Amino acid sequence: MIKFGPSGSCERFAAEGYSHTIQEAKWLADLGLDCFEYSFGRGVRITEKTARGIGEEFKRYNVEFSVHAPYFINLATLEEEKAANNHEYIFSSLRALRWFGGKRCVFHPGSPLKAARDDAMKLLLERLELVMRLKHEYGFDDLWLCAETMGKKSQLGDLEEVISMCKDYDTLLPCIDFGHLNARDCGIIKGYDDYKRIVDRLADGLGDFKTKNMHVHFSKIQYTAKGELRHLTFEDEKYGPDYEPLLRLIADYKLEPYIACESSGTQTMDALAMKNYYKSL
């Protein structure tokens, strides 16, 4: 089933006097939304008891929970000590995801920093192989890792790179951030045909199952020549991309992605706008 929801708590949630993630479950269900993405941002700091309590509440209201692993994961790092830390960030995220009762953990693949891009990508794929082997050994085969397309040209994670990361592993899904893809190439998504080209390439590279069940991040994003600058709201009319043609394509192709809206501050209402438009089709 296709799902729509926000990434993180929005400004309106706070304005209505709420402050705890556990309160999101009923709040989102009452609005008619389906999912919520919780970001670990700077580190995984949650106790098992708290996470299980939140998970139970989300289960009660039938709102799916996903997590975003800490942002500083870099599977292409040249420093072995940092490479070991990546495992800690990824597996502590998966452990918490299990407590929350969720299925999907998004991560940012990495950046070459001073290395040549091809070398960095090769190193990243080797590290990913180890991560996926450990994921199996640690008993996380029932959870998805989702490799995200990134918004800056300097970062690893254009569409082709994410396809090559995901293609060899059953439990590694693409997280297609259409705002990032648009921003990193300075506004390439103008309409339906541009979305179609991306989704067709994804299906060609990863097959129908991973395309149908892909993870999606969506927001309008301001960019410069180097790519992503900052997340915007659906009020923006300059940078895009527009969500309507994407949702028409999703309906035409009968895709069932998990869509987390990442608008800046208005993510819940913008997720609802997406869901309402989709329902109108």
Closest distance to Zn ion from the beta carbon of 73 (Å): 10
Nearer to Zn ion, 57 or 145 (CB): 145
State the DSSP H helix or E strand holding residue 4, giving kind and residue range, or none if neither.
strand 3-6
Judging by beta carbons within 10 Å of its beta carbon (0-12, 13-18, 19+), is residue 61 exposed, middle or buried? middle
Closest distance to Zn ion from the beta carbon of 253 (Å): 24
Look up tokens 């254009």; give the residue: 158
Closest distance to Zn ion from the beta carbon of 156 (Å): 13
Look up tokens 């208005």; give the residue: 266
Nearer to Zn ion, 176 or 198 (CB): 176
Closest alpha carbon to 80 in 109, 111, 123, 132: 123
Restricted to residues 18-47, the positions that interact with Zn ion (CB under 5 A) are none
What phi and psi, each to the nearest 5 degrees, are found at residue 41?
Answer: 50, -90
Nearer to Zn ion, 34 or 148 (CB): 148
Instruction: List CB contacts of 102: < 8 A, sequence separation 6 or more.
Output: 55, 64, 65, 66, 67, 143
The whole-angstrom separation of Cα 151 and Cα 241 is 13
Q: What is the 3-state secondary structure (H, E, C) of 244-263?
A: HHHHHHHHHCCCCCEEEECC
Which of the ranges 9-17, 142-150, 158-166, 182-190 carries the binding residues for Zn ion, by CB under 5 A? 142-150
The whole-angstrom separation of Cα 160 and Cα 158 is 6
Nearer to Zn ion, 148 or 161 (CB): 148
The one-letter amino acid at 48: E
Nearer to Zn ion, 57 or 183 (CB): 183
Site mask for Zn ion (CB under 5 A), range 92-131, x = bound: ----------------------------------------
Closest distance to Zn ion from the beta carbon of 148 (Å): 5
Nearer to Zn ion, 77 or 155 (CB): 155
CB 135 within 8 A of CB 172: no
Look up tokens 């070991």; give the residue: 84
Closest distance to Zn ion from the beta carbon of 71 (Å): 7
Which of the ranges 27-35, 148-156, 223-231, 236-244 carries the binding residues for Zn ion, by CB under 5 A? 148-156
The whole-angstrom separation of Cα 36 and Cα 52 is 15
Question: In the complex, which residue's CB is closest to Zn ion?
Answer: 148
Site mask for Zn ion (CB under 5 A), range 165-184, x = bound: --------------------
Which of the ranges 21-29, 141-149, 227-235, 265-273 carries the binding residues for Zn ion, by CB under 5 A? 141-149
Nearer to Zn ion, 158 or 251 (CB): 158
Closest distance to Zn ion from the beta carbon of 254 (Å): 26
Q: How many residues bind Zn ion (CB under 5 A)?
A: 1
For Zn ion, the binding residues (CB under 5 A) are: 148
